[in-house]
Structure 1
Amino acid sequence: MIRDISNDQWNKWKAPKGEVFKCTTVKAVAVRNDGARSKIVTHSYFVDPEMNTRYTLPVISLVTEYENLFDNSIGLYVNENYEQRGAEWERPVHVEFFETSGKLGFSLDAGFRIHGGWTRKYPQKSFRLYADHNNDIGEIKYEIFPGLRGTEPARK
């Protein structure tokens, strides 16, 4: 219900119509008595007996700290920060991709930034994911769009 997310006078923020179905996310870390910490583990859970039939498209869960989106100075989504570009405006995010059946396709830590030109001003924004954010993965090895094999060379 945060409203300072758009400056487009033709596409103003609107409250959702009806209930918005959401998932529950859990982030956990183990801490020993000496203060040593494990890696943070993040998972998204959909608690719904009809999950296997609820969606006709895959679902992507993006989990990040509240501040990364809504903090007045560093949040990507507010105070016209969505106009900012470049690596300094990339924030950490945990990404999970769920098939329409609810089966987990992949899970990884990545980075994300606001994406687009004029659409950055819209209340609903596009994100660009970076699989190489603070890790060595560099790419997502999963068939997100079945049957699509990438770009082919231009034909003459």
Structure 2
Amino acid sequence: MRHSFHNGALTGWLRLAVVSAFLCSIPFVRAETNPDDYAVLQEFYRGLNNPEVLKWPAGSSDPCGDKWNYIFCSRSRVTQIQTKNLKLSGTLPKDFNKLTELSNVGLQNNNLSGSLPSFSGLSKLKYAYLGNNQFGTIPSIFLSAS
């Protein structure tokens, strides 16, 4: 009898250990957007004449954790902004180049205007769709082949 109790208790502990190990192995990802990225997105929002079109949550929501519309992240960094065809009007933030993990930006077919901010420092940027907006002169850095 004592032997079977010991085996039963051992089996119970073993089950608990296996379940605990399994639960600990599940990645609980709670992204907290990089503060610089978050600040640029807030500036972008404030620079728009019609930001309600984005339907971004109010308050201190986390763009990478809460999956904001039109924003794509990898870990805690913004990697894409895709706002094509939304009829957004306004300007882009001057510190847009702080989105250093940005690889793709799709702003085409809106009514964005003003000067294009510097994209220097955006070394991961592969695609920048900016057509059919009202931007001023295109900086020469966009015209040079690399």
What is the TM-score normalised by the length of structure 2? 0.26
Q: Which has the higher helix share?
A: 2
Query: How high is the TM-score relative to the length of structure 1?
Result: 0.25
Instruction: Name the structure with the higher strand share.
Output: 1
